[in-house]
Chains A and B, each alone.
Chain A
């Protein structure tokens, strides 16, 4: 009995310990998953996966995490990251059809490739070091070449143009990075259920990567506890935004395609992730539809909302929320099970058409000029249709204006002439002071740092189009600095256009059930849009030539040196004779030498005479002896000094 108890005691202790840990962290760490589905006006469907993981402030360092990924918390602790966002994107967000003035697009429309920005909580002098270490850590964590952002030529320190005013902010982007499933797998590993269970089980790789747009984002921010002794909490937000084209069988072109989760992803949701606090699926219907059904208010009529003349939903929504222009159906997937999987479907009955709200100005960027010597970059801002309806116009001195921030990084091999900056508003050139409110330039240094341009434009509200052009020279690189596919060209990262006076938010009038996705929509987010990545072809040298170039150039130098020296020391016959006749008179050194040799030999001095061969030979031998002595002396001196050391 005693032995039984003795054997039970450690087990009991362990159990109680485990329970304590589990309880402690369950209260603290929270995970929630959500999926937002949204039909887009151009017959596509947007799926936005949203996972949020919260680790509350705690005072224990090196703590154990129940849900929160340890890799991320270590990252935050080690590099003192205050806020960070990393995104992997493929495809370009279509601002015209997919919207540009809602929280979804302003947060998830990202530039092609990898974009990383981070704010650090370290002294100013250590920010760059922290950034470099962070890029390496992330590079290992996400199997991507984020470590290329380490070099000072690829990142910048925006002051105000990025939207976050901090001098400890670093921003870098890699437009060339190919994003694929090897980046998604480590990203999924950070989720407690991975892609085994819950909403993330929908992420069937072929269907996710078949989409028109794919952006995988990781945003983390630390929350100060405000209490002494407590560390800071971390909020990790992981989103995956995909735009998919549902397969349609209908022949009618103006009919929106009907779809279901299984047709989009090839999978169904079977139950939620058990570790998630909440797991919801949202369906957002936008535009005209929302307006039509706005007057439907009561609960009973809400029932009609999901089965009406326009469309049919395959499942009954648990709740319906409405915003000024859109409807939100909320589904809880806890009820689904293996026998009854959750497979939401939308069937359109009538052709319908609506449009998305767009940002006040739509930005495109392009290159001008031809040839590999110089060119110009132009950013064109075009007023969109919805511009007049938008809130956030600033009226100063009786003038209605739109503010637009432009933030642009130039790699050093694009040598920008900032004095050539020209601004055209409605095809008329404007002087800087008219529209340019603020400008901040940090010019690039060759092979050391990249250039950065931040501009704040204040355009009149009735503007139709505004264009900015800036000239540049193309740099010439060292042969080692070219990538293997040098003739493909070099990428200029996307410019960021943000509208500081416009904020996008979706405010669903009802009290929200603490859904992280909806509360993140409720927050006012800066309206921003990224432009295209530009491909600049640079001149290449001949990569097979280094040896030839070295030898030919050295030959030129030899030619110069040799021929010039030859001309200088050339004597022509008569000149030599002249010298000889001069030499007879003044024999200076030679005479001295022969005298010296004579003394050594103990013979009387022989007067040197050119016509006696004997004297010649003796003189020669004396010369020889002198040379030998000289060499021996040099050798002795060398020996002496070298042994001295």
Chain B
């Protein structure tokens, strides 16, 4: 057993470094396999070509937002911009950018591993508290951190968006950093990740709810009622319980909400966002300032001006919908992202990390300019919950669906755009299929998680009955 445990990390490192080597091989191909122009990989928000254009405009002392090319953060521009123009002789252009993205991917994977290890510990602790693992040592807890990190590193979506020169690895890194900070209770780090993620792509703003819950109540755990139940059973037995435990159980009738940490978090969020805004204002000093930035980044995201095809469903809808209804549907679609926040938060408040995963998955479905990088993020976050989601339904069907869509999408795009033999409906049909699979995935994972809690309750009550 000990040997196996030693082997496991060793094997993890082998696979992780293999994935890095694989990426390095891919980025050294000239032209980057033309991945950077795939609509699945780079959206108007994440395309490096647009970033290079923004940087060029800025160098020519124009606003980087002049024209409708660049819609990203000015900070990203000043970090990645110089790298887009530097060329090493004999190497493919944008090699430096690719290296940055590879590093971002590695960091994300390591942070995911950290989150996973915390979650694994919490899972083991809870299971022991509830008394599942006391007797049966054979039921192994899967090392969800390693699995998630490897899923992240080897996910074709991640590889494609890393090699395809989109800035989504950096957005992913910011999101994972925020979660990592919240899980490890490093409040400033969490706040920084949260602010950066929101600054880069707006949608992670919904993560505020799970992060506050995470900081207030602690890590994912089965519902509090279960603990009460088990405690009461144990109290009735009162055979082995100590004084401290009794005191604890009394406390936990109402789980303490750590207001202080949350306030701390909010304070840091305020501080970091002020900092980011000041930096943006400084870099856009001559070109309209922060107001222009909000208009060109968040405004662009919310008003869906760019109708170029992507794997979402909005582009075709807004290319076809009558102008008269455009605003109405814009509101409806964006409100749909917000609608489910509260019900999910109420139902899954005991599992903030899972809640974060669900939020990210939902926003990746209903995003205005989605890319496979967003799917890569929520798929690897999903791998953090392998222990809980083992009973998930339709997993093979979903796997086949994702596979099929990712194979069909380039084909349909090619037929429509390059050959001219298909029409827009081909590609849109594909996007609709993808949206459906994602929806089924989210719904099934939420359902599986709720079922897992139910199963816990059932077994704990059985357990109690057996004990009594």
Contact = CB atoms under 8 A, between A and B. Distances in A.
Interface in B402-434: 416-418, 420, 423-425, 428, 432
Contacts of A578: 457
Interface in B41-97: 49, 52-53, 55-57, 60, 62, 66-69
A549 B321 contact: yes
Most chain A beta-carbon neighbours within 10 Å: one of B55, B318, B432, B439: B439
B333 A557 contact: yes
A563 B443 contact: yes
Contacts of B60: 418, 439, 441
Given A373-B37, A556-B436, A417 B69 contact: yes
A370 B316 CA distance: 23
B53 A419 contact: yes
A541 B49 CA distance: 25
Contacts of A445: 66-68
Given A557-B333, A561-B340, A574 B458 contact: yes
A545 B322 CA distance: 11
B234 interface: no
Interface in A427-467: 439, 441-447, 451
Given A478-B307, A557-B333, A372 B56 contact: no
Nearest to B365: A560
Interface stretch (B147-155, B266-274, B446-454): B446-454
Interface string B105-130: 00000000000000000000000000
A477 B307 contact: yes
Most chain B beta-carbon neighbours within 10 Å: one of A477, A480, A541: A541
Contacts of A541: 316, 319-320, 423-424
Chain A, interface residues (CB within 8 Å), range: 35 or more
Most chain A beta-carbon neighbours within 10 Å: one of B320, B321, B442: B320
Given A418-B56, A443-B57, A549 B428 contact: yes
A311 interface: no
Contact of B439 (A479, A563, A575): A563
B57 A476 contact: no
B395 to A, nearest CB: 16
B317 A415 contact: no
A373 B347 contact: no
Given A563-B439, A565-B343, A546 B417 contact: no
Contact of A549 (B316, B340, B457): B316
B174 interface: no
Contacts of B176: none
Contact of B68 (A446, A480, A540): A446
A513 to B, nearest CB: 53
Nearest to B317: A553
Contacts of B53: 417-419
User: What's the dominant secondary structure at chain B's contact region?
Assistant: helix
B343 to A, nearest CB: 5
Most chain B beta-carbon neighbours within 10 Å: one of A370, A371, A372, A560: A560
B3 interface: no
B292 to A, nearest CB: 12
Contacts of B344: 564, 568
Interface in A59-105: none
Contact of A564 (B67, B319, B446): B446
Interface in B351-381: 362, 365-366
Interface string A560-589: 110111011110101100100000000000
Nearest to B426: A542
Most chain B beta-carbon neighbours within 10 Å: one of A372, A374, A567: A567
Given A371-B418, A542-B424, A561-B339, A550 B56 contact: no
A387 interface: no
A545 B69 contact: no
Interface in A380-436: 412, 415, 417-419
B340 A477 contact: no
Contacts of B320: 479, 541-542, 545-546, 549-550
B450 A372 contact: no
Contacts of B317: 549-550, 553
Contacts of A9: none
Contact of B418 (A370, A419, A475): A370
Nearest to A371: B418
B68 A415 contact: yes
A419 B442 contact: no
Contacts of B336: 557, 560-561
A539 B417 contact: yes
A452 to B, nearest CB: 11
A586 to B, nearest CB: 13
B417 A477 contact: no
B323 interface: yes
Which 10 residue pairs across A and B have the least CB separation, nearest first?
Answer: A443-B67, A419-B56, A446-B68, A371-B418, A546-B320, A476-B307, A549-B320, A567-B447, A541-B424, A553-B317
